[in-house]
Structure 1
């Protein structure tokens, strides 16, 4: 069930927070429009130096794409919610977008956050390795041999698997050799998942591990068809009994939960812009807007920093 939230409402605090968040969303999207798609590694910057060490597996390519993913999802969130007059809040549809903002922002931050260059290089190479591992698995699954396959299909799939295996072996070897040349020991399983990754950047965001990783777990869970998670985090309204021992109920988004998820996405993206801008010599990449009103005192997740 889609809710339409108007400037007034029964859930006063959550409503006030949501209206403030919409102002921040519009401001961030306008900021992205102004900065465009800049070169995030200016000559002489630390990130440009990282690129020299990681080439041809450039750190800035990974970071730029991660920021782009987060920015696109943030922009789509605004398109979904803003109907010109009121605020549109779907029961579930926001959460996959906000999860994408959180994860894209987190990856960009994690890649460039360490002060130690070799640690940044290690993270870049392990991220490249993870991409390779996941791409390999996708090809293997897509080329699964079925009992109904004819001779031509079997031949095509076998050829695909052989060529993919050769390519993956060669790419893994390139990554290992590059790591050895620059003095980095790779974890051959690739980079950590988003849970440990968010835990690692919690100090950069300036919040506790429980807040940073915990919110991601909640938002991530709401992107899956989990009835228990949805019921625990949504508003459920019981209707009239049906007369047969059952009761009809409707489920809609809980505004406090929506506040929490949007706060996490906004703060994650803000942190990513600041961290990448500082490492890449692009302080103008950081978002700020002195014209915004003071944020309502409703959720600590934003941290109002």
Structure 2
């Protein structure tokens, strides 16, 4: 007796035919087509050089050689690259949407985290608070760097003289780098009247940074941080998150106690994640522009 063919398993390509999904596809496509203009705007701002009399210029003077602008540039470069990659992945020919299941969410999470970190660092009107946040971020960065160095050093073959020498040299280099950074951070903090307790614990987690950075009238910290939490569960294995964020087709009984169903990622989750990343990126760009252009306020004579 002939048996009916088994349904395909794994990842399969299926066309979008549902009217609601077609509308959602058009909305997502329109958002993706706006990415290039957003990146072009930042590219223009990134070419500007902050004068010493500007807010950013004075921030850099006070935080040399761990310049605040350098951390901003690193964050925005990462956000830029991830937004560009997201568009290339989902809209490879610039017109036809090819929606993935989860591959774009790590890109969008990185874009949102990076843009939020830049905005979190730029946002405070109080210069001292901007410097405190920089010191917190730099503390976390150098600690992660040393953790990586120590882990990598363990990969060396310590049974050989060369392996032991390589491992020890790497650790010495990492420790020396942390010492230089820590000493410079302490020097900056002392000059600004900042106690070590204000920054030595490092920066808050990404969820808190996203929420605090995007707590604007035209953004929404709760919205952005919720989006961040949702897509974080789609950047590593989470069957529950996959289940709750997917659209499901008709269920087929495999007659062996298991069920078969075609599931696709809900387009709205991608659109929301993209929108959160783009809005945060735009706000970071414009806040950076303001700090570059705005002349720092002079201290009143005492």
For normalisation by structure 2, the TM-score amounts to: 0.83
The match for 2:141 is 131
Q: Distance in 2 between matches of 1:6 and 1:226?
A: 25
Matched, 1:45 2:54: yes
Counterpart-to-counterpart distance in 2, 1:213 and 1:82? 26
1:90 aligns with 2:103: no
Verify: 1:275 aligned to 2:287, yes or no: yes
Cα distance 1:42–1:252, how it changes in 2: closer, same or farther (>3 A)?
Answer: farther
Structure 2 matches for 1:47-196, cutoff 5 A?
Answer: 47-84=56-93, 85-144=95-154, 149-152=158-161, 153-186=163-196, 187-196=199-208
TM-score (norm 1): 0.82
C-alpha displacement of 1:206: 3.5
Is 223-232 or 7-16 further displaced after alignment? 7-16
Residue 7 of structure 1, CA deviation? 10
Q: Distance in 2 between matches of 1:141 and 1:166?
A: 16
Larger-Rg structure: 2
Instruction: Provide the C-alpha distance between the structure 2 equivalents of 1:226 and 1:81, rounded to a whole number of angstroms.
Output: 22
What CA deviation, in whole Å up to 9, does each residue of 1:25-64 have, x standing for no partner?
243244456x274135245321111111111111111111
Cα distance change, pair 5–272 in 1 and its aligned pair in 2 (3 A): farther
What is the aligned residue count? 280
User: Equivalent residue for 1:290?
Assistant: none
Is the 8 Å Cα contact of residues 205 and 271 (structure 1) preserved in structure 2? no
CA distance in 2, matches of 1:155, 1:265: 44
Distance apart, 1:216 and its partner CA: 0.8
Query: What are structure 2's unaligned runs of at least 5 residues?
Result: 1-10, 295-302
8 Å CA contact 2:215–2:222 kept in 1: the answer is no
CA root-mean-square deviation: 2.6
Q: Contact 2:117–2:213 (CA<8 Å) still a contact in 1?
A: no
Structure 1: how far apart are the matches of 2:210 and 2:54? 25
Q: Which of 246, 249, 253 pairs up with 2:265?
A: 253
Q: Which runs of 5+ in 1 are unaligned?
A: 283-305
Distance 2:137 2:178 in 1: 15
Q: Does 106-115 or 227-236 show the bigger shift?
A: 227-236
